[in-house]
Amino acid sequence: MKRLTALLLAITLTLSLTACGGSGQSNENISSLHSSETSVTEEAYETAEESGLGSEEQSSILVAYFSWADNAILEENVDAVASPSVIAPGNVQQLAEWVQEETGADLFSIRVTEPYSSDWDDCLARANRERGDNARPELVETIEDLSQYDTIFLGYPNWWYGVPMALLTFLESNDFSGKQVYLFCSHGTGGLSNSVEIITEAIPDAEISDNIFDCYEEEAPSSQEDIQSWVAELEY
């Protein structure tokens, strides 16, 4: 009887130990599985973060530009040979898009509510009147919050040895204090003329770089490599 009791106790103890061992192995497997899932989840999150997926981060760089092509109603009889910069993409617009490609910046076109003529002589006549009147043409829209940008690339054509007056509307409508500003310009034989001085006067609290990109208007369509090399030199 004692032997039978002892045998039963031994069997019970063995089964109990086996069950505990199985339970421990199961918990270990669950723990291992959980660890594996966590690793995969973290890896997927890191991959998504690297690719920008799920990220609401905005660019801290803005490319703002004024282009005749974005500010003119194209007439049917416009001479595309004599006025190529009014055919989209215009000279400055094209330069701006290449800067945007190089930097990944946000792109903003400065547009007036009252478009200019697509006839170059008529456009210049109005631009001259605006300059004489020190006008500030009304814009279709402006930047809602410029504070999100640290660096601004500003593009424009040389109009009457200066800048389009609409560019001044844009500059004076925003706070450029402490902003790093880089200028790029398309021009004729007048070069930069007084444009840099005019812009500096409009935004005196900005940090305007002396490293300026400019090109002749007829060379603008073939200036992709040059302007993107310029941006790369600025380390953007």
3-state per-residue secondary structure call for 177-213 = CCCEEEEEEEECCCCCCCHHHHHHHHCCCCEECCCCE
- Using alpha carbons, list the distances in angstroms from residue 206 to 89, 103, 150, 171, 201: 29, 20, 10, 11, 10
Beta bridge partners of 155: 65, 184
* The residue count for the chain: 236
pLDDT greater than 90 at residue 16: no
Token pair 């910069």 is at which residue?
A: 85
Give residue limits of the domains in the chain. Answer: 1-56, 61-233
Q: What integer pLDDT is reported at residue 170 of this predicted model?
A: 98
The pLDDT tens digits for 24-36 are 444 444 333 333 3
Question: What are the tens digits of pLDDT across the range 121-180?
Answer: 899 999 999 999 999 999 999 998 999 999 999 999 999 999 999 999 999 999 999 999
Prediction pTM value: 0.73
CB 173 within 8 A of CB 202: no
Mean pLDDT value of segment 210-219: 95
Looking at the DSSP assignment, which residues form a beta bridge with residue 109?
65
CATH classification code of 61-233 = 3.40.50.360
| pLDDT tens by residue, 185-206 | 999 988 999 999 999 999 999 9
Residue with tokens 């640290």: 150
CB count in 10 Å sphere of residue 89: 17
Does residue 227 contact residue 95 with C-beta atoms inside 8 Å?
Answer: yes
Beta bridge partners of 107: 63
Q: Look at residue 84 in the predicted model and tell me its pLDDT.
A: 53
Q: Is residue 43 very low, low, confident or very high in pLDDT (cuts 50, 70, 90)?
A: very low
